[in-house]
A and B are shown apart, each in its own frame.
Chain A
Amino acid sequence: MSGTGDTSGGAALRAEGLTWHVGRGAQRRTVLADAALDAPVGTVTGLLGPNGSGKTTLLHLLAGLRRPSAGTVRIGDDDLHALRAGARARRVALVEQHAETGLDLRVRDVVALGRTPHRGRFAAPVDDDATVGGAMRFTDVDHLADRAWPTLSGGERQRVHLARAVAQEPEVLLLDEPTNHLDLGHQLDLLARVRALGVTAVAALHDLDLAAAHCDRLVVLDAGRVVAAGPAADVLTPDLVARVWGVRVDVTEVDGRVRVRWWGR
Chain B
Amino acid sequence: MTYALGRGSVDVPADRVVAVVARRLGLGEHGVTLAEDQIVWQLRMPRVLAAAACGTVLALVGAVLQSLTRNDLADPYLLGISGGAAVGAVSVIVLGIGVGGLVGSAALALASFLGALGALVLVLLLAVGRGGTLDPTRTVLAGVAVGQAAAAYTSFLVMVHGDSHSADRVMRWTLGSIARVRTDDVAVLVGTALVTVVVVLACAGSLDAFAFGETGARSLGVDVTRLRWLLLAGSALVVSVLVAHVGAIGFVGLVVPHVARMVVGPGHRALLPTTAVAGAVLLVWADTGARTLVDGTEIPISVVTGIVGTPLFVWLLHRSRRRSMA
Q: Which residues of A contact B (CB under 8 A)?
A: 60, 63, 65, 84-90, 92-94, 96, 99-106, 109-110, 113-114, 116-117, 119, 121-122, 168
Contact = CB atoms under 8 A, between A and B. Distances in A.
Interface string B184-222: 000000000000000001100110110111011011111
User: Most B CB atoms within 10 A — which of A89, A106, A116?
Assistant: A116
Given A96-B212, A105-B211, A114 B220 contact: yes
Contact of B215 (A60, A106, A109, A168): A60
Given A103-B266, A109-B267, A122-B202, A117 B211 contact: no
A113 B209 contact: yes
Chain B interface size band reads 20 to 34
A104 B221 contact: no
Contacts of B219: 63, 65, 89, 92-94, 96
Contacts of B216: 96, 99, 113
Contacts of A109: 208, 267
Contacts of B215: 60, 65, 94, 96, 99
Contacts of A99: 212-213, 215-216
A25 to B, nearest CB: 13
Nearest to B218: A65
Given A104-B266, A105-B266, A117 B212 contact: no
20 contacts: A65-B215, A65-B218, A86-B223, A87-B221, A88-B221, A89-B220, A90-B221, A94-B219, A96-B212, A100-B212, A101-B211, A102-B70, A103-B211, A104-B265, A105-B266, A109-B208, A110-B211, A116-B222, A117-B220, A168-B220
A85 B223 contact: yes
A122 B202 CA distance: 6
User: Most A CB atoms within 10 A — which of B206, B209, B220, B222?
Assistant: B220
Contact of B208 (A85, A113, A117): A113
Given A89-B221, A105-B266, A168-B220, A116 B212 contact: no
Contacts of A90: 221
Nearest to B202: A121
A132 to B, nearest CB: 13
Nearest to B213: A99
Nearest to A90: B221
Contacts of B218: 63, 65, 85
Interface string B257-268: 000000001110
A47 B248 CA distance: 54
A49 B208 CA distance: 34
A54 to B, nearest CB: 16
B241 to A, nearest CB: 24
Nearest to A176: B215
Given A86-B223, A89-B220, 9 more contacts: A99-B212, A99-B213, A99-B216, A101-B211, A105-B266, A113-B220, A116-B208, A117-B220, A168-B220
A93 to B, nearest CB: 7
A74 B211 CA distance: 29
B214 to A, nearest CB: 9
Contacts of B221: 85-90, 116-117
Nearest to B212: A99
B221 to A, nearest CB: 3
B211 A116 contact: no
A119 B213 contact: no
Nearest to A97: B215
Interface string B57-87: 0000000000000100000000000000000
A101 B208 CA distance: 11
Contacts of B70: 102
Nearest to A119: B205
Contacts of B206: 116
A101 B202 contact: no
A114 B222 CA distance: 12
A114 B220 CA distance: 7
Contacts of A89: 219-221
B295 to A, nearest CB: 45
Contacts of A86: 221, 223
User: Most B CB atoms within 10 A — which of A65, A103, A104, A119?
Assistant: A103
A105 B216 CA distance: 15
A88 B206 CA distance: 15
Contacts of A116: 205-206, 208-209, 220-222
Nearest to B208: A113
A102 B212 CA distance: 9
A99 B124 CA distance: 29
Nearest to A174: B219
Interface in B135-158: none
Contacts of B220: 89, 113-114, 116-117, 168
User: Most B CB atoms within 10 A — which of A87, A94, A113, A119?
Assistant: A113
Interface string B206-245: 1011011101101111110000000000000000000000
A106 to B, nearest CB: 8
B320 to A, nearest CB: 9
User: Most A CB atoms within 10 A — which of B70, B208, B215, B222?
Assistant: B215
Nearest to A121: B202
Contacts of A94: 215, 219
Contacts of A101: 211-213
Contacts of B208: 109, 113, 116
Nearest to A109: B267
